Copies of this chain bind each other. A is one copy, B any other.
Amino acid sequence: MGTLTKASTNASKTEQALKQMHFVEDVGLSFEMVGLPRMAGRIFGWLLLSDPPHQSPGELADVLQASKGSISTMTRLLVQIGLIERISLPGQRRDYFRIKPHAWTELTKQRMAQITAFRQLAERGLELLEGENPQLRDRLIEMRDMHAFLEQELPALIQRWEDR
């Protein structure tokens, strides 16, 4: 665990644990910035550091000092949006959660759905302004075209990432 060689030359265990919890807290805040619940971020943050990488709901409730109910709800959400997955290990009794490999490409694909939604919205707007002064339509044309552009280009970008 030591930063240098073996045991603790510098950071004590509790110091390290404190830094970890600070990290977890900050992931929570970042999730809020993106419109997701803070507790979902805390769970994700802990799963980024935990050893082993898979943790049971009980363990999560324990280290994050959250209720089981909260853990249950938030893991369900995280599974649903594709950031974590539920795994059941061979011999072991129950199941665990871990960060889904390629979680981030999942999230980007998620955003694609939003982009599509905005493009469709722009198209609905254009129907409403059908026959109107072209100047009035420009706003919506830009909105539609921009999102159509991203809809076309992002998958290629993701592909490049996956093939890297």
Give residues in A with beta carbon < 8 Å to B. Answer: 1-4, 16, 19-20, 23, 26-27, 30, 33-35, 47-49, 51, 53, 99, 101-105, 108, 114, 117-118, 121-122, 124-125, 128-133, 135-136, 139-140, 142-143, 146-147, 149-150, 153, 157, 160-161, 164
Number of this chain's copies in the complex: 2
Complex A-B: 12 CB contacts under 8 Å:
A16-B128, A26-B121, A27-B121, A30-B117, A30-B118, A48-B125, A48-B143, A53-B135, A53-B139, A101-B142, A104-B143, A108-B150
| Pair B27/A117 contact, Cβ less than 8 Å | no
- In the complex, which of the residues B3, B143, B149, B161 contacts A146, with contact meaning CB atoms closer than 8 Å? B161
| Pair B153/A157 contact, Cβ less than 8 Å | yes
A153 vs B19: C-alpha distance when bound (angstroms): 32
Given A104-B143, A149-B161: 12 more A-B contacts, CB < 8 Å: A3-B130, A3-B131, A26-B121, A30-B117, A30-B121, A33-B114, A47-B139, A48-B122, A53-B139, A102-B142, A150-B157, A157-B157
